[in-house]
Amino acid sequence: MKEELYGGSKVFNGAVHGMAGQIFPLLQCRSTLPGDMAERATSDARRWLFESASRGEHGTNWAPEFVPHGTDTAPFASSMMLQICHGAPGVIVCCRHLESDPEVDELLAEDAELTWHAGPLSKGAGLCYGAVGNGYAFLDLFERTGETLWLECARMFAAHSIEQFHAEVAKHRQQRFTLWTGDPSLAIYLVGCIEEDASFPTLDVV
């Protein structure tokens, strides 16, 4: 599905600007869809997930724009991003409601492995392009699989995010009060890590 953004028509993959974000409400509410729409939504989402993935030694990622089968695009290529708005973490968050099967589970685990291998983002502790947003990928995978490894990863990202928060306040002498790019998301994420709650702000809870 092409989107009219930035003065052009492109097919984006990400959670904020692209297919992953469009897939999320269809999967979350598929029980309410009429006729065979639920089945088609699931099959189309699954097909997109695999056709657009770029798989490599350390895991799987998605280019900002749709590239069939990740054509010649390594998961760590300079054109790739690894955050909620573009890349693997956002794909996990938006596709976690896909029905479980070995291939999907393996692919989402590869996404999380790449996110862990890359480490927390240096842009700060926020949802859109920060350690908090990427940490939610681990919380979501823990909720999906029950594997405590992912909860441990989420909590380690949380610990790093606290350090980032204090460093940013010391540097700029002020806090940031927006949800997606500021400090409130860190507080919500810390509660989620403590209570083992993967509810993503604005998607699962308002």
pLDDT in tens, 38-71: 999 999 999 999 999 999 888 999 998 886 655 5
pLDDT(11) > 70 = yes
pLDDT of the residue at 116: 97
CA distance 196 to 176: 25
CA distance 23 to 181: 23
Contact 54, 63 (CB under 8 A): yes
pLDDT in tens, 160-169: 999 999 999 9
pLDDT in tens, 132-179: 999 999 999 999 999 999 999 999 999 999 999 999 999 888 888 999
CA distance 123 to 119: 12
pTM of the model: 0.90
- Rounded to the nearest integer, the mean pLDDT of the chain is 90
pLDDT of the residue at 57: 85
